[in-house]
């Protein structure tokens, strides 16, 4: 039994402003791409021979995003012949995420081989990956903890490196001799010259029982924390919900640090499949098709004397003159300008934005919600205007008004609004007033999407709603 595990809990701050804390890069819509990185990962799994429906491990705040993006692919949730979704209340890195997946895998008295994949990587040669997975499955069944080592083509300093040891029986497989985390340029060049190192892809295969055994041996506190957390999980809904009180005590470590660097069972498979972890805007530029001047241009962009730049516009015109090797990324509420050479430092810039308590670090003004879409149109000190798109049959849950009054205008469709004990049916062209300090619920009982304009009035306007 082969159980694919998709790790979808990362933040991807180096790809700000497209990637945000509440809408990270794996779920983001990048210009020119039909699917998100998460969706591409799931679609790739459909070609893995003998694989079960995947288990997705994500932050509990992203559960509805995962479910919606699976639905777009025609993949349902458990009970509907689809994927399982395990919700982490807080992030505790990949060692804990894989442990929860392993406990889930053995919960039905089985011992599956886990294929653990990050959700935000690009693989341009899917066939090469499938062939490597077939080899990895054999090694995992023999008791190895398998990692996929990418054939390096440059001395990258943003990746971890794996030194290959003695060859194993399967061609293109070795015992792992040593892991090195993100070397400096000089050491990376030595690794490339040695022809005995691979980039660490962060993809793994192992039997659930073997991983848990090694985790218990090498990081017993993480093992016990995850064991108790999974045993107390809520399994009676569409999601597998892990309790915060127990899981928050679990130590945060990666699979590499907690297990792979210490175990004697580590094996590495050579992978040459056009892998890229999309770790910066420079990485995006390298992957994108370019014009004759080496520019990656998306959206409404006009340039003159511009070379080697990435310029992506999502909502307005960008005009650029006399630039070289620069990144410009525009969204409706933020613009990033950076040199391509220093694109890795965007993560530090986002930390400054967070420290300044800027909303732009957390979410976009247009937010996917469990019930539809919310788009902030205007925010001022004493009022806020939001456009709501409510899906057919969806319910906007009861909302506290934070001491502000609201006027709800229905632009399209008909909705039912409950304010206290009163229920109003409101159609296009009509509106309803919600007093300050009141709470309400809104449901679209029609077969068509409803569109509303929400105007909030008061001196204490809440943060943009995202639920």
- Please report whether residue 377 resides in a domain: yes
Is residue 132 within 8 A of residue 139, CB to CB? The reply is no
305 is in which domain, residue-wise?
A: 281-355
Per-residue pLDDT band for 78 (boundaries 50, 70, 90) equals: low
Same domain, 289 and 373: no
pLDDT of residue 465: 46
pLDDT of residue 381: 84
Per-residue pLDDT band for 326 (boundaries 50, 70, 90) equals: very high
* Radius of gyration for the chain, computed over Cα atoms and rounded to the nearest angstrom: 24
pLDDT of residue 467: 42
Same domain, 92 and 152: yes
Supply the pTM of this predicted model: 0.86
- Taking each helix axis from N to C end, the angle separating 208-218 and 93-106, rounded to the nearest 10 degrees, works out to 130
pLDDT of residue 79: 56
Give me the mean pLDDT over the 41-45 stretch: 94
Q: How many CA atoms lie within 13 A of 336 on its CB side?
A: 35
Q: Which of 276, 308, 339 is the last residue of a domain?
A: 276
Same domain, 197 and 85: yes
Q: Which of 276, 307, 340 is the last residue of a domain?
A: 276
- Please report whether residue 464 resides in a domain: no
Cα-based torsion angle of the residue sequence 146, 148, 149, 153 in order, rounded to the nearest 10 degrees: 180
Same domain, 289 and 419: no
- Please report whether residue 361 resides in a domain: no
Residues 266, 104, 176: CA angle, nearest 5 degrees: 5
What whole-number percentage of the chain has pLDDT above 90?
74
Same domain, 89 and 208: yes
Q: Is the pLDDT of residue 464 over 50?
A: no
Least confident stretch, 107-121, 208-222, 386-400, 415-429:
386-400
Q: What is the CATH number of the domain that holds 422?
A: 2.60.120.10
- Please report whether residue 108 resides in a domain: yes
Same domain, 315 and 383: no
Same domain, 153 and 228: yes
pLDDT tens for each residue of 139-175: 999 999 999 999 888 888 888 999 999 999 888 899 9
Same domain, 259 and 127: yes
pLDDT of residue 170: 82
Q: Which of 250, 276, 302 is the last residue of a domain?
A: 276
Same domain, 91 and 163: yes
Give me the mean pLDDT over the 350-366 stretch: 93
Cβ neighbours of 345 (radius 10 Å): 13
Distance, in Å, from the CA atom of 120 to the CA atom of 156, rounded to the nearest integer, reads 19
- Spatial neighbors of 112 by CB under 8 A, at least 6 apart, are 1, 2, 3, 52, 105, 106, 207, 208
Return the residue matching tokens 């029982």: 209
Q: Is the pLDDT of residue 77 over 80?
A: no
Q: Which residue has the higher pLDDT, 138 or 401?
A: 138
- Please report whether residue 219 resides in a domain: yes
Same domain, 104 and 250: yes
Same domain, 401 and 326: no
- Please report whether residue 255 resides in a domain: yes
- Please report whether residue 174 resides in a domain: yes
- Please report whether residue 360 resides in a domain: no
The count of domains in the chain is: 3
- Through-space distance between the first and last CA atoms of the chain, rounded to whole angstroms: 37
Give me the mean pLDDT over the 234-249 stretch: 92
Q: What is the CATH number of the domain that holds 82?
A: 3.90.550.10
Cβ neighbours of 405 (radius 10 Å): 15
- Spatial neighbors of 290 by CB under 8 A, at least 6 apart, are 296
pLDDT tens for each residue of 97-132: 999 999 999 998 899 999 999 999 999 999 999 999
Same domain, 452 and 404: yes
Give me the mean pLDDT over the 292-310 stretch: 97
């Amino acid at each position: 039994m082969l159980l694919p595990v998709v790790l979808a809990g990362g933040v991807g701050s180096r790809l700000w402003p497209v990637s945000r804390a509440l809408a990270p890069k794996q779920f983001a819509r990048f210009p020119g791409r039909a699917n998100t990185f998460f969706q591409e990962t799931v679609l790739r799994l459909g070609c893995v021979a003998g694989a079960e429906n995947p288990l997705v491990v994500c932050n509990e705040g992203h559960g509805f995003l995962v479910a919606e993006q699976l639905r777009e692919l025609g993949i349902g949730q458990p009970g509907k012949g689809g994927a399982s979704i395990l919700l982490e209340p807080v992030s505790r890195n990949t060692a804990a995420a894989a442990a929860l997946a392993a406990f889930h895998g053995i919960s039905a008295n089985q011992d599956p081989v886990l294929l653990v994949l990050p959700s935000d990587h690009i693989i341009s040669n899917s066939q090469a990956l499938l062939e490597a997975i077939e080899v990895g499955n054999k090694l995992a069944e023999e008791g190895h903890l398998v990692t996929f080592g990418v054939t390096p083509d440059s001395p990258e300093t943003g990746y971890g490196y794996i030194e290959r040891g003695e060859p194993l029986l399967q061609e293109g497989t070795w015992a792992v001799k040593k892991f090195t985390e993100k070397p400096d340029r000089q050491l990376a060049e030595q690794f490339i010259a040695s022809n005995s190192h691979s980039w660490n892809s962060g993809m793994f295969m192992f039997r659930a029982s073997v991983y848990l055994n090694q985790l218990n041996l090498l990081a017993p506190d993480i093992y016990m924390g995850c064991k108790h957390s999974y045993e107390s999980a809520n399994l009676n809904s569409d999601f597998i919900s892990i309790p915060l009180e127990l899981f928050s005590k679990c130590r945060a470590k990666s699979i590499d640090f907690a297990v792979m660097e210490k175990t004697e069972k580590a094996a590495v498979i050579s992978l040459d499949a056009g892998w890229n972890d999309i770790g910066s805007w420079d990485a995006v530029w390298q992957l994108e098709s370019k014009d004759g001047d080496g520019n990656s241009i998306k959206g409404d962009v006009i340039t003159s004397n511009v070379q080697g730049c990435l310029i992506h516009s999502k909502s307005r015109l960008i005009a650029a003159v006399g630039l070289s090797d620069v990144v410009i990324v525009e969204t409706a509420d933020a613009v990033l300008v950076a040199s391509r050479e220093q694109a890795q430092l965007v993560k530090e810039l986002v930390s400054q934005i967070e420290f300044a308590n800027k909303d732009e670090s957390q979410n976009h003004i247009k937010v996917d919600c469990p019930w539809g879409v919310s788009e902030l149109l205007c925010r001022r000190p004493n009022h806020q205007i939001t456009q709501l798109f409510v899906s057919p049959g969806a319910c906007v849950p009861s909302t506290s008004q934070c001491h502000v009054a609201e006027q709800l205008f229905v632009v399209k469709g008909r909705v039912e609004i409950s304010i206290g004990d009163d229920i109003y049916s409101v159609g296009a062209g009509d509106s309803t007033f919600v007093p300050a300090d009141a709470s309400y619920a809104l449901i679209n009982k029609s077969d068509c999407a409803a569109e509303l304009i929400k105007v909030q009035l008061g001196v204490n306007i809440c943060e943009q709603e995202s639920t």
